[in-house]
Every structure is written in C-alpha cells, then in structure tokens.
C-alpha cells in the first residue's frame, strides 16, 4: 500500500475502522472461532512461511507460534463473556443511595506493530485480545519476515471486514506514517531503541500504549543448582529461535565453585542438541537477515570464544556460541544480544551479582538456578525485572494466568490472558443515584458546618 493511500484510508472515517463497540459478545466469539478455523486451515502455510523467512524448525513453529495463538484464542472464546460483565462496586457514603458499577469498554482504534523474531505469534496474539474486547485493529507486521506477513494478511482478510481489522505492510516509512495518525491505543513489540522512537511519536496525541521491549536478561547459576537440568534448560531457552527471543538469557553468572564443571556441561548439552555441526541440524534456525548477521558476527571480534563461533554469511548462520567474560564496554555487552551468543561470567558472592546486574537497565526477565530458597528469595527481592523463573528459562511466557511485560527500559504495560483483556479495555465507572432520598448536607447555603465536622471525624 502506497503512503498516500494509507493517509487517505486513515482520513476516510466513514469507511475505515469504525468502532465495533456495537458488536455483541456472541458476535465477537463467532469472529474468534472463524479466526481459529482460518489459522488451522493455513497451518502448513505458516510453517512454510517461517522456514522461508529464517529456516525456523517446524517444531518451534508449532510450539512457539501456533500453540500460543491457539491458547489465547481458546481462552478468550471461553472467558470473554464473563470478563466483559459490568462489575458492581460498593458505593460511597456521600452518594447514598446509589448503585455503582465498572463497565469494561473497548478503546476503539488500535494500531499493532509486530516484530520479526516470532512474526506470527507476536502479531496475532495482541490482535486476538484487541478484537475480543471489541476494538478495531490495524496490524503492521514486520517487513523482515515477508512470507509470514503475507500469510497474516491473507488470514486477516479472510476473517475480517476492512472496517474491523486490516493488515498494512511496509517498512520503516510506513510505520512512521501510521504512528503519525491519531489512535485510541498503540501496541508495539520490538527493540528498546525503536520503542523509544514509538513512544516519542505517539506522545503528541497522548496515546495510551503498551511497549513490549527487551533488555539484557541475567541468568544466575548458584553452586547449589542441579547442573544437568540447568544446562539443558538454559541452552534450550537461549538457543531456541537461534537466540532471537526477547526473554532469552542474555548472559550467565555462574558461581566460581562450579564454573568449570558447568561450562563443560553447557558444551556437552549443545552437542547433544545440535550435533557436532549445528549448521547441519534441522532443529536450528538462522538469523533473520544479513545486517543482523553482520551485527552479531562483529560482536565476536576480539572475544575469547569457549565454544562455537562458526559463521556463514551466505545463510546468515552463527553457531551456538559461548564467550568467556567479555568486557562490559564491548559492543557485545552494550546492548541486548538477541542472537546465539552467550557470555559467561563468574561470581563468588551476592555483591558480585549486584554490581553486574545493576550495571544494566532493568531487564525484561531474570532467571536463577538454585536449590537454596533463601538465595532465590534474596535474588527476587534485590532486583527489579519484568518477570522471572526459578530453575528454568522463558517458560513464564506460556502461562496465560501470568501478566507478561517489562519494567523501565524493558517495557510499559503487559498482556496475555486476562492481562490482555485489561490492556485492550478501559474501565468506565458509572454511579447511578436514586431519587428516594437526597441528603441536604452538601447543598448551599452551607448551614451545617458543625454536622459535617462531626462526620469528618469518622475519617480522621
């Protein structure tokens, strides 16, 4: 779609994205069922598209893309009617007699900007929540995953009328034009630097928003940890999707007493996962594009590689790589890695952890492997992060009963399950006063000052 067409479309309020508030809950559920059926009919197309975009293994597509989407759909189909009911609230004394309620209403027109790393799931999941809550949606998928973007556009056009949901494809310029428009809500998933730009652009309209970003997620391995389990779960969480996961461990902090032993277990685990040559493994994805490959490949310059470090520019391939204690001022540690490179550091006491973790902005996630509950409690109480896991990595993402989101530089707001409902609706409070009693105390002329002072004493 051309830039002038986007502007024309956005300005044509009679045809484009009228609010769907009038749609009943049953109609929304029918739409969600239709969306579910469309995704199911295009499952193989989705698998094929993600392989074409960056050789994502089919198993990872099924588990990290489709499973998450189906789970969110099923939850909203089951719960949206219950969640949407007005909530009765006890009324204030001064309003007696009255009945008070909170109504959950859609924001209206929502812009969803999706990233490339999980290009189907991270696009469709917020759309599901927004539509279920009665909003209309413009989805801008990532131009870096063009095959998946085409499938998303095909599914959305099959299920929705243009007045309810539409996909607009394009690059940075298209995103900027969309962000220049006035929205009722903006939902953005992407990097911290781009998130800051998005926040600045929508600030001129004071648009409410959710920013799902990232950060340098620490992973702590205590001396008491189950090392076999920790090695498997860390390697899985880090090298899934070739490390292109916002909640993946960004660096390891390993207790010095077990450093050498655990390092060897990591190497053994990576060989078990991907063989002696991960390039030949059908279970290992590629990097999304050449510029991302060049960025990560450059990170390895002058680093002490413990394992891996093999790269191929023709296929955007970098093998699972372990790096020994890179300098905090190196490019590798200056920003979120977002790839299959894992720095390893040692620590001897809790002060070491504080110095390292507090050297970076508040992370999206934090992981700690330990059998010592006092230690895990100390970690949880000492550091601020979006969400975390004890004795595993990234699994908090799949529990739709947990809100998902960041804090500080790692994000604003959250979603998933009920949290998505809270994000894509706003609370509208209504007080319904009765007429059978009207206490004159509050009306001028104020002749009952002493009476109100006595009343006020109840609150003093």
Q: Known catalytic residue: 133?
A: no
For residue 273 the two structure tokens come to 């996962």
Query: Which residue of the set 133, 219, 235, 246 is catalytic?
Result: 246
Tell the residue number behind the tokens 């105390």, with chain if given.
Answer: 441
| Measured CA angle at 269 (ends 263, 271), to 5 deg | 110
Question: Would you state the structure tokens that stand for residue 62, as one six-digit string?
Answer: 């099924």
| CA atoms lying within 13 Å on the CB side of residue 310 | 10
Of 60, 212, 219, 235, which one is the catalytic site residue?
Answer: 212
Nearest C-alpha neighbor of 165 from the set 201, 146, 148, 140: 140
Cβ neighbours for 295, distance < 8 A, ≥ 6 positions apart:
none
CA dist 136 and 278 (Å) reads 43
- For residue 371, indicate whether it is catalytic: no
Q: Which residues are catalytic?
A: 212, 246
């Amino acid at each position: 779609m051309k830039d002038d067409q986007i502007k024309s479309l956005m300005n044509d309020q009679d045809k484009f994205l009228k609010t769907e508030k009038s749609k009943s809950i049953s109609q929304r559920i029918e739409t969600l069922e239709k969306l579910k059926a469309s995704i199911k009919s295009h499952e193989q197309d989705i698998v094929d598209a993600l392989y074409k975009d960056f050789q994502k293994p089919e198993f990872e597509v099924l588990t990290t893309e489709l499973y998450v989407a189906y789970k969110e759909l099923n939850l909203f189909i089951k719960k949206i009617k219950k969640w949407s009911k007005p909530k009765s609230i006890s009324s204030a004394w001064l309003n007696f007699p009255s009945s008070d309620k909170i109504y959950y209403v859609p924001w209206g027109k929502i812009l969803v900007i999706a990233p490339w790393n999980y290009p189907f799931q991270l696009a469709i999941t917020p759309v599901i929540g927004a539509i279920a809550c009665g909003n209309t949606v413009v989805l801008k998928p990532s131009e870096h995953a063009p095959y998946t973007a085409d499938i998303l556009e095909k599914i959305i056009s099959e299920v929705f009328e243009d007045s309810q949901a539409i996909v607009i494809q394009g690059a940075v310029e298209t995103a900027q034009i969309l962000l220049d428009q006035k929205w009722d809500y903006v939902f953005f998933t992407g990097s911290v630097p781009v998130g800051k730009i998005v926040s600045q652009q929508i600030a001129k309209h004071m648009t409410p928003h959710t920013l799902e970003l990232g950060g340098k997620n620490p992973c702590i391995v205590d001396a008491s940890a189950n090392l076999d389990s920790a090695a498997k779960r860390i390697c899985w969480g880090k090298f899934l999707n070739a490390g292109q996961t916002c909640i993946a461990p960004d660096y390891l902090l390993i207790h010095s007493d077990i450093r050498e032993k655990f390092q060897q277990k990591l190497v053994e685990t990576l060989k078990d996962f991907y063989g002696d040559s991960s390039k030949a493994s059908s279970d290992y994805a590629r990097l999304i594009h050449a510029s991302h490959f060049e960025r990560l490949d450059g990170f390895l310059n002058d680093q002490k590689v413990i394992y891996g470090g093999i790269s191929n520019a023709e296929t955007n391939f970098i093998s699972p790589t372990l790096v020994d204690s890179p300098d905090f001022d190196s490019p590798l540690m200056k920003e979120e890695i977002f790839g299959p490179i894992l720095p390893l550091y040692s620590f001897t006491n809790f002060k070491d952890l504080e110095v390292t973790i507090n050297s970076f902005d508040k992370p999206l996630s934090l992981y700690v492997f330990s059998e010592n509950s006092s230690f895990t409690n100390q970690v949880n109480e000492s550091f601020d992060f979006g969400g975390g896991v004890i004795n595993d990595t990234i699994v908090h993402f799949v529990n739709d009963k947990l809100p998902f989101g960041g804090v500080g530089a790692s994000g604003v707001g959250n979603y998933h399950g009920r949290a998505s409902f809270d994000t894509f609706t706003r609370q509208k409070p209504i007080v319904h006063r009765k007429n059978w009693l009207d206490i004159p105390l509050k009306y001028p002329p104020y002749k009952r000052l002493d009476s109100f002072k006595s009343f006020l004493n109840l609150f003093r």
